[in-house]
Amino acid sequence: MATTLPARSQVNERFTWDRESVFPDAAGWDQAVETILARLPDLAEFRGHLGDSPDALADWFDANESVHRLMGRAMVYSTMSYSVDTGDQAALARTDRARSVAAQLGAAASFALPEMIGLGIPKLREWVASSPRLAHLGHYFDRVEKLEKRIRSAEVEELLTQVSDPLATALSVHGVLANTDLRFAPALDANGGEHEVAQGTIGTLLTSPDREVRRTAFENYADAHLAMQHGLATSLAGGIKRDVFYARARGFPSSLAAALEPNHVPPEVYHNVIQTFRANVGTWHRYWRIRRKAFGLEALKPYDTRAQLGRSTLHVPYEQAVEWIAEGVAPLGEEYVTVLRRGALEDRWVDIYPNKGKRMGAFSTGVPDTFPFIFMSYNDDIYSMSTLAHELGHSMHSYYARKTQPFIYSSYGLFQAEVASNMHQALVRRHLLATHTDPAFQVAVIEEAMANFYRYFFIMPSLARLELEMHERVERGGAITAGYLNGLMADLMIEVYGPEVEVTERDRERIGSTWAQFHTHLYSNFYVYQYATGIAGADHLVERVATGDSSAVQSYLAFLKSAGSMYPLEGLRMAGVDMTSPEPVEAAFATLARMVARLEELTAA
């Protein structure tokens, strides 16, 4: 019997996110965009006058914040509309227009940084000390001072901002190809039944207990990407060239430096992740061996690496997932749990279930004037519960950051974000293992943990290695082609698979297409390594937080609230972890090894 997804129009509203809380309808969005465009000349009037007085500078920050707050809501609304139905052409048009208007706004405001730098950092600090309206900007100007040599003239800054829209086309093309134009053949079960392969279902299909479902889903999903590999590779090459262009335009020695220096992250942090990952691939080899023996297979195939080990799927309805998550994060306090429950169950933060046209993946989005929304495709299993916990970690981080910080510090980078999201997963996992002693349940929870490690301590470090190779290749004047990407990606995957996973020549091509299956990550300059630092940071902190150490809990909540008011490494030090050391990543791999050892005990029994 075929399984299919409902159309977006068939999804019950209570299972969707509250888009109307951002704008009541598309007409409201149109009006907001027109208002933004009408305010651009007002911003231009500040040009040449920021140094007139402290109040003039404060007026600029107020005016700039006002229009950027509205722009943020416009961006969120357009993202919400398009993500849930990539075939909606009106939503696609709004997304494109929002990006264009954001570029115009950025260009209109681009004179400000060069002009402030021209005033001199000592004068700006003097104004911060003397003007109550500027008193909160000390850290902001500290960041400006550290990046002063990377800021160009007002004219160049305006041009760099204007080209951000056309230079984002490569990402848009990749997303449209992957989320709208790709067509997947259905997966087949052992009885010949068809199961729809889509961005919202592929994760569940690859964990199916039916090996035929897994095999056909894996093959059909990868083959569809391979059918478009040359177009996707050309798009990705455009994205990498954009990164190199921006790095050179600002005088950075490399794209890696351009990604790390603004956040004051030393390159050693990046290289620690790669080196520690490579030193611990033997743990993965042991894990594959345990899986092969548990399944009674002569050879483990790539499509067996995520299959559930238990005899049946652990069924976790959405409401049960929220309950377990709330119980797991209870050490963070009653207020924390109350806000989380209300968001997940009443205020419609979450767009919950898959539907036709819904794009792949999961994410948390929002701005200070909206809810911290969550996009996902919940499939009533423990893996979906884990994803929900992860995204609720992001959304609760945003809730506290936006509630605590002024607008200019209300956002934060992925380096901080992934600690919060992985902390949720670690707390919930710890709670479930402590309260459910049934071996089958424990196997299911450990398998969820391994799925998380699979993504963050296997796939993401492998993509980080690919990313470094790609950027260095382009920086040397080399070309990015599908053949190059497939071959390099396959080599990186096979290094982690080791001798325990059998890869045919055709399956080598399929695992080689993994780069193409990540439709946004590789277009964000050196983004993915931070998933590994995030899980390492959370793993380093979780025990003290979970056991109710009041100082650890308060330090962690202070970290969430600090958002952009501190450098990422400083915020994490406040929480109790030093990410400049390889120790947290090494400790996380030690946790992974313990999980593998416990799984070996349970499966042997």
The pLDDT tens digits for 490-519 are 999 999 999 999 999 999 999 999 999 987
Residue 286 lies inside a defined structural domain of this protein: no
Report in angstroms the alpha-carbon separations of 290 from 203, 348, 450. 22, 41, 12
Residue 194 lies inside a defined structural domain of this protein: no
Q: Domain residues for 151?
A: 11-167
Residue 138 belongs to a domain with what CATH number?
1.20.140.70
Residue 538 lies inside a defined structural domain of this protein: no
The string of pLDDT tens digits covering residues 511-547 is: 999 999 987 888 888 989 999 999 999 999 999 999 9
The string of pLDDT tens digits covering residues 305-358 is: 999 887 667 899 999 999 999 999 999 999 999 999 999 999 999 999 999 989
Asked if residue 141 has pLDDT above 80, the reply is yes
Q: Which region, left, alpha or beta, applies to residue 366 given φ > 0 means left and ψ of -120 to 50 means alpha?
A: left
- The pLDDT assigned to 312 comes to 67
Neighbouring residues of 52: CB distance < 8 A, sequence distance ≥ 6: none
Neighbouring residues of 126: CB distance < 8 A, sequence distance ≥ 6: none
Asked if residue 2 has pLDDT above 60, the reply is no
Residue 236 lies inside a defined structural domain of this protein: no
Q: Where are the beta strands (DSSP E) in 194-306?
A: 194-195
Neighbouring residues of 490: CB distance < 8 A, sequence distance ≥ 6: 503, 508, 509, 511, 512
Distance of CA 582 to the CA centre of its chain: 22
Residue 78 lies inside a defined structural domain of this protein: yes
The whole-angstrom separation of Cα 576 and Cα 555 is 8
State the pairing for strand pair 363-365/373-375. Answer: antiparallel
Residue 153 lies inside a defined structural domain of this protein: yes
* Residue 479 burial class via C-beta count within 10 angstroms: exposed 0-12, middle 13-18, buried 19 and up: exposed
The string of pLDDT tens digits covering residues 576-596 is: 999 988 889 998 999 999 999
Token pair, residue 467, equals 């990313």
The string of pLDDT tens digits covering residues 551-564 is: 999 999 999 999 99
Neighbouring residues of 302: CB distance < 8 A, sequence distance ≥ 6: 218, 493, 497, 501, 503, 507, 510, 511
Give me the sign of the Cα torsion angle 571, 552, 390, 218: positive
* Residue 363 burial class via C-beta count within 10 angstroms: exposed 0-12, middle 13-18, buried 19 and up: middle
Residue 119 lies inside a defined structural domain of this protein: yes
Confidence band for 462, pLDDT divided at 50, 70 and 90? very high
The whole-angstrom separation of Cα 495 and Cα 529 is 18
For the segment 148-163, the average pLDDT, to the nearest whole number, is 88
The whole-angstrom separation of Cα 414 and Cα 313 is 32
Asked if residue 3 has pLDDT above 70, the reply is no
For the segment 14-30, the average pLDDT, to the nearest whole number, is 97
> Is the Cβ–Cβ distance between 202 and 216 less than 8 Å?
no
The string of pLDDT tens digits covering residues 76-131 is: 999 999 999 988 999 999 999 999 999 999 999 999 999 999 999 999 999 999 99
Q: Which residues are paired to 436 by β-bridges? A: none
- Average model confidence (pLDDT) across the chain: 93
Residue 566 lies inside a defined structural domain of this protein: no
The string of pLDDT tens digits covering residues 39-49 is: 999 999 999 99
State the pairing for strand pair 350-351/187-188. Answer: unpaired
The whole-angstrom separation of Cα 161 and Cα 100 is 11
> Is the Cβ–Cβ distance between 225 and 516 less than 8 Å?
yes
Helices vs. strands in the chain: H and E counts, helices first: 27, 5
Q: Domain count for the chain, please give it.
A: 1
